[in-house]
Amino acid sequence: MTQLRKGVLEYCVLAQLEEDATYGLELAGRLVATRLMSSEGTVYPLLSRLRRLGWVETTWRESPEGPPRRYYELTASGRKALTEFRITWRTFAAEVDSLIGERH
Amino acid sequence: MSKKITSPLEHDLVRKYIEDLRRELADHDPREAAEILTSIEEHILDAATRAGDISSESLARIIGALGPVERIASAATPAVAATTHTIAAREWVVLGVAAVSALMLIPAPWLAAILAIAGLAVAYSQYRTRRLGPIETIAAVIDLVVIFLFALMMLTLVGSGEPELRPEAVEVVESANTP
C-alpha cells in the first residue's frame, strides 16, 4: 500500500499545482489535510524530484507576510504527464474495482 | 549573557533538526539533498513568520509538523550505487586501521594510540555529515578501547615510578688513580 501511495503521490502534487502556482508551506498543508501525506516535510523530496524531471519549475514571489517565497508551478511537460497519468489511473482503478468489487 | 535570537534558523531546536536532516541526507543525491535542506529552511522561516512567534514551543510545533528527518530522507532519492560502494570500502579501511592499532598495543603502544586517535578523528568527521554505519561504529569502539588501555598502561607505568637510588645500593668504585 505504501508503494502504491508513493507512486501516485507525485501526480497528486502535480494535480495540486494544475490550477495555480503554490508555495511549499501551503502545498504541504493541503496534502497533509487530505491524509495522503503523513507529515509536511516529505513534500520537498517529491518537489525536488519533479523539478529535476522538468515537470515543475520554481519562481520567487513577494509575500505579504515576510520574505519572498519560492512558488512551484507546473510546466508543459508536467501537464502532459498529469494528463497521461489520469488516463492510466482511470483504466487501472476501473480494472481493480472490477476485480475486487464491493461486498454488501 | 545569552545571545538574542532574531531568526528561527538560529534557534538550537531548528539548528539540530537541520543538522540531523543533513546527516540523514548525506548518502543521498547531493543536489537533491541541498535543495531539500534549503526548502525545509524556507518552510520553517515561512511558518514562523506566519505564526509570528519564534518561541521554542512554536518552533517545536513547526518541526513536529514537518515530521521526523528519517521520514523526509526516506522520500529522497538514494545516491548512485558507486557512492555507496565507496562508503562501504572506506568503512572496511577504517575497521582495518582499528584492528592494526589493537594488534600494535603491546609491541608498539605509542603507534597504537596514534592510529586509534586518527581512527576516532575520522569517525567523528564522518559522524558530522552522516550516520555511522555498523562497521564504522565497531571500528570506533575498538579505537576507544585501545585509547583506554593505552591510558591505563601509561598510568600504571607512572604509578610504579622509577626505582629510587638508595645510598646502600650505590657501589663505590675506587679508582686506582685516586690519591
pLDDT digits (tens, 9 = 90+) for B25-44: 998 888 899 999 999 999 99
User: pLDDT-derived band of residue B1, with 50, 70 and 90 as boundaries?
Assistant: very low
pLDDT digits (tens, 9 = 90+) for B11-30: 999 999 999 999 999 988 88
Question: All 3 cell numbers of residue A73?
Answer: 508551478
- Closest partner residue to A65 among B49, B71, B72, by Cβ? B49
User: pLDDT-derived band of residue B45, with 50, 70 and 90 as boundaries?
Assistant: very high
Q: Looking at this predicted complex, what is its ipTM? A: 0.88
Q: What is the mean pLDDT of chain A?
A: 91
| Closest chain B C-alpha to A47 CA, distance in angstroms | 9
Taking the whole predicted model, whether its pTM rises above 0.90 is answered as: no
| Helix/strand/coil for B78 | strand
d(CA A39, CA A51): 20
At B77 the pLDDT is 78
Which is higher by pLDDT, A3 or A52? Answer: A52
At A36 the pLDDT is 83
3-state helix, strand, coil in chain A (%, to 5): 60, 15, 25
Q: Which residues of A lie closer than 8 Å to B, measured between beta carbons?
A: 6, 23-25, 28, 32, 38-42, 44-49, 51-52, 63, 65-67, 69-70
pLDDT digits (tens, 9 = 90+) for B119-167: 888 888 777 656 677 888 888 899 999 999 999 888 888 887 655 545 5
**Secondary structure E strands in chain A:** 22-23, 56-61, 69-74
- Mean pLDDT confidence for A9-24: 94
End-to-end CA gap in chain B: 78
**Contacts for B53 with CB less than 8 Å, ≥ 6 apart:** none
Report which of B42, B13, B8, B51 is spatially closest to residue A40, judged by C-alpha positions: B42
- Please return the burial class of B41, using the count of CB atoms within 10 Å of its CB with bins 0-12, 13-18 and 19+: middle
pLDDT digits (tens, 9 = 90+) for B72-111: 998 887 765 445 555 667 778 888 888 888 888 888 888 8
At B85 the pLDDT is 56
